[in-house]
Each structure stands twice: as structure tokens, then as C-alpha cells.
Structure 1
Amino acid sequence: MTKKKSGRKKNFAPPTLGRRIMGWSITGAICLGLVYGAYDLFQFCVRSDLFMVKEVRILGTELLTKSEILREMDIPARVRLWQIEPERIEAALIRLDLVDSVQVRRVLPQTLAVEVLERKPVARWQDPATHEVYVLDEKRWLLATLGELEERMARNGISRREIGPLPLIVCDRSVRGWAPGDRLDVDGLEDVLNTYDVLWTRGENWIASIDRFEYVDALHGWKIKCREVAEEIRLGRTNLTQRLGKIDPVWRLLESEEIRVAYIDLRFDEQGVAIKPLNIGVVEWMELTNRETPTEKMIG
């Protein structure tokens, strides 16, 4: 038989009052030390230059200068990173006519990063009352006068080629005091400018031939006046993005055959594209298009 091991039970007596007081004292001393240390560290950070803003990093600007951005930000020469209010700076910068959006970030330990998205000039518009020419972006905002834009470009070393040809927008607007920051309210203009900007970026050949966009009530919408191949392109006022996307293959065909036309009419969405040729005979045109009506031909 296995014998049961016998042993004495250990008795754990509860701590005496003196021991409790000693434990509380040690814990309290540690907590006080931590609080004092944290306060000391806080005072060090407040008084030292460790988090003083040493660099303002401005990204995304071409037309706006760093000095313009800094002037609008209006921050003290000596300021610590946590004293910066990003929302206040963003609200100040978004008021600039050339700024589309802005984001301000604090980057430890000593940098303030400002990311700016500028409005991009895509066209020109002339005030019928004052004859002042303004540049506008694809959202129809007047950004600056053409003279101001050219001064900025020269100052910042930007070539006209980088900006693009800036075709003229012709539309009747009520006589009023127009200024940068105003917005042109014309049917379909935003679609025209948006699509034009995309096609220009894509590098489609015919874009370089555009002289101006005109809004014509008699044609129920927009037409484009061109310098070569076609005298004008008729767009209408609906499906403008889709219609502008049709031009490139038609233009390349006419250009390769050295055919000049009075107009390219894109208003017949389902039927195709109507074209009126100028410098080609009836037989040649019929052979080229294989259609029956040579004067106003549908290339679908």
C-alpha cells in the first residue's frame, strides 16, 4: 500500500496595516514620479525647438508661387507644429481662384506639408461688355485674365505648349461685371470643356485645329470653328461627350484624303456623321464613301 504523504499546511497571514501603508506609499511615489516626469517632458517640448516648424513643403503648384501660398497661409515665423491649425490654412487657400483643392498635414518633427491641386486653364472667354479676355477651367470657373495668366507663365518658366492652345469660347451672356471667381452658366459648356481637356491630354490630332467653340441658338447648341480640314463641327446640346469622341477617325480619313469640308455634323447620333465636302468631285466622293447623296454624306 502507498503511504499518504503528510505535510504541514502553509498559513498565509493577511498583510498588516503597516505593510499596506508601505505598499500604498510606494505606489503613490511611483505615480507621482510618472506625473512629474510627464510634466517635465511636456515643459521640455514646449520650451525647446524640437517641434518648431523649420520647413513648409508646398507640392502641386505650377501657376501659383510659393510666396503667394505662404502669404495666404499667414503663419508666424516661429511656430510649433501642434500650434498649426490645418483647417484654418485650408480654408484660406481654397479662396484663391487658382486652387481647386488643398490638404495641409503636420509631419513630425518639424515639417508642414501643403498639397495643392490647381485649377487647370482649358479655354478663353471674352467679356462682351469690357472685351476683357479671361481663362477658364473645365468646370467653367473664370481663373484670371489672359494677361495675368501669361505673366504667371513667364514668371514660373511655363511654356504656352504646356498649357495648351486655349480655344476661345463664344456665347452671349448678360452684361455684368465679370471677374475671376465667377462661373459661366451656359448649357453644355462643362461637358464640352471636360471632354476637350481629356482629348487634348490624349493627343488627338484634330484638337490642334480648333479655333473656337460657339454656342448658336439657331443650331440648337454648340459648334466648333476649325482652322483646317473642316470649317466647322456641329455638336448640338446633348450627348456632347459621346459626339466629340466620334471626330478623330472621321478627321483622320478626311486629312489623309486631303479633303476640305464645310462642316462635320455630329447631331445624328444613331444615323452617323453628316459631312459636306468642298474640294472633291461627286464621283470621287461617291467612290470614297460608297453612298448615294454626295453633297451631304453620312459616314457611320
Structure 2
Amino acid sequence: MIGKGIQSVKVLLLGLLLLSCIFAISQFKVSRIFPIHSVRVYGAPHLDPLYTQQLLMPLVVRGFFGIQVETIREHLLQMPWVDEIYVRRIWPDQVVITVLERKPIASWNDQSLLGDDGELFSPKRDTYPDALPKLVGPEGKQIQMLEYFRDMNRLLESLHAKIAYLELTPYSTWDVVLSNGITLHLGNKDILTRLHHFVKVYPKILANREDDVEYVDLRYPNGLAVQWKGVKKV
């Protein structure tokens, strides 16, 4: 009885092995009969073409019917610049991949990029866009800083200025450098109110004199102080 049981197991294992071989051979034949001749990638200006090719080659050798679309998507989603991936097979021999890249708003602590969704990602530095605003602050504060960054830029629209540098210091004070070169010290409270006050008085005090300003101190309860370049501090 035991001998018959062992014999049955051997027959079953042999059958499974034969089925595996038949499946592998059939897949090989299908890949030879319906090979992929074209892989087109759209919307990926920051992806390394050589690296992308090396990543995709092992995934498309199975031919038109053997391609695992979800596997391609999962592999490409691991790349830092990639936000979303759409993969399509087009009969008889094409694969079309559409890449939606992340949209960086600013650099973060000179180590990462901050996306418009508040998420950090770290691609190669030589792929960073030029002239990105810089945000500097404590770890975990990037979403709060992004919200202030957007609110401040809205307030600055009437001056045709934008934030080039925004820092939340270890003392919880806010410092800003504008695109026109003016530095603002905003302190640690009523940040947007103080910036709004700056926007209101700007045309009266600083218009056409941006190059003469070293910084503007807005930490006073009822006013501000301008430090002019070349003028000694009192």
C-alpha cells in the first residue's frame, strides 16, 4: 500500500514537471512568434533612457501575450521622478508607456525635492530643475511650509515678486528672500499679517529701491524697519 502511494506521488510530480516544461516551451514559442518590436515611453524628460531600457528589456522579452503590464508599472513606479504609469499593448508588436512625472515646487534642505502634493522625493541632483525656490526647515515640517509658501506667494502677486528662499529656523522664526533680492525677517507669529503689511507699504517705501535694501525687519508690533545697504546699524 505504501509503495503504491509513493508511486502515485512520483507520477504526480512527473506530471507537474511535464506540464511546467510544456508551459515554458509554449511561452517561448509565443514570444518568438509575437515578439515586441517597439517600446515607446512618453512624458518622461527626467528619466535616464539607458537605465529605463535596462529595466524594461527583461520585462518585454516574453512577447506580446506574455507581457505583465502590472509588473512593468510596479517597476517604473519605483523611480524617483515617476508619479503614475499607464502601460498599453498595441497589436501586434508595440508597448506604449505614458509617464506622469512628479511636479517639484521647491528643493527641501538641499537634499530632496518637494512635490506639489507635499511629498518628498530624491532623484539624482543633476536632474533637478534650474532656479527652484529653496525651502529649509525641520524634518516633518514640509507640508506646513508648503502651505505658507503658497499663501505668501499669493500675497506677493501684486508686487510681481515671488519667494526664492523660505526658512523656518530652529527658533520657529520665519525668514524669506524674495525674487527681487529683498530679505524679510517675519518672526514667529502673525506671519501672514506681517507680510500683508509689507505688501501695503512696499510701494511707498521700497519701490524702485530694491537694490538698496539689505533686509526688512517685520517683527515690530506696529511697523517695520528697513536696513539699507551701506548704512551702519544704529
Q: Same fold (TM over 0.5)?
A: yes
- In 1, distance between residues paired with 2:67 and 2:152? 40
User: What's the counterpart of residue 69 of structure 1?
Assistant: 52
- Among 104, 112, 137, the alignment partner of 1:135 is 112
AA at the equivalent of 1:149:
R
* Residue in structure 2 matching 1:87, options 44, 47, 70: 70
Equivalent residue number for residue 146 of structure 2: 190
Pairwise CA distance, 1:141: 0.8
Once the two structures are superposed, residues 118-150 of structure 1 have per-residue CA deviations (whole angstroms, 9 ceiling, x without a partner) of 223443344xxxxxx413122241313xxx322
Alignment correspondent of 1:234: 186
| TM-score of the two chains, using structure 1 as the length reference | 0.48
- Could you list the per-position Cα deviations for residues 189-247 of structure 1 after superposition, in whole angstroms to 9, with x for gaps in the alignment? 33246678999xx9x8422xx4521114655x64323474632163968997x998998
Percent identity of equivalent pairs? 19
Question: What SS does the aligned partner of 1:96 have?
Answer: coil
Retained in 1: the 8 A contact 2:76–2:82? Answer: yes
How many residue pairs match? The answer is: 192
Identify the residue that residue 100 of structure 1 maps to in structure 2.
83
Question: How much does 1:76 deviate?
Answer: 5.0
Q: Which one of 182, 206, 210 corresponds to residue 161 of structure 2?
A: 206
How far off is 1:57 after superposition?
0.6
Larger radius of gyration: 1
1:57 is aligned to 40
Aligned 8 A contact 1:60 1:118 in 2: yes
Counterpart in the other structure of 1:166: 132
CA-to-aligned-CA distance 1:9-33 (integer Å, 9 cap, x gap): xxxxxxxxxxxxxxxxxxxxxxxxx
Amino acid aligned to 1:213: L
SS at match of 1:117: strand
Distance in 1 separating the partners of 2:48 and 2:74: 18
RMSD, aligned α-carbons: 4.4
Give secondary structure in 1 for the equivalent of 2:35.
coil
* C-alpha separation in 2, matches of 1:47 and 1:167: 49
How many Å separate the matches in 2 of 1:93 and 1:140? 18
Which amino acid is 1:64 matched to? L
Distance 1:135 1:95, change over 3 A: same
* TM-score, normalising length: structure 2: 0.59
**1:279 deviation in Å?**
7.2
Q: Sort the Cα spacing of 1:239 and 1:75 in 2 relative to 1 into closer, same or farther, 3 A.
A: farther
> What is the aligned partner in structure 2 of residue 158 from structure 1?
none
Deviation, structure 1 residue 102: 1.1
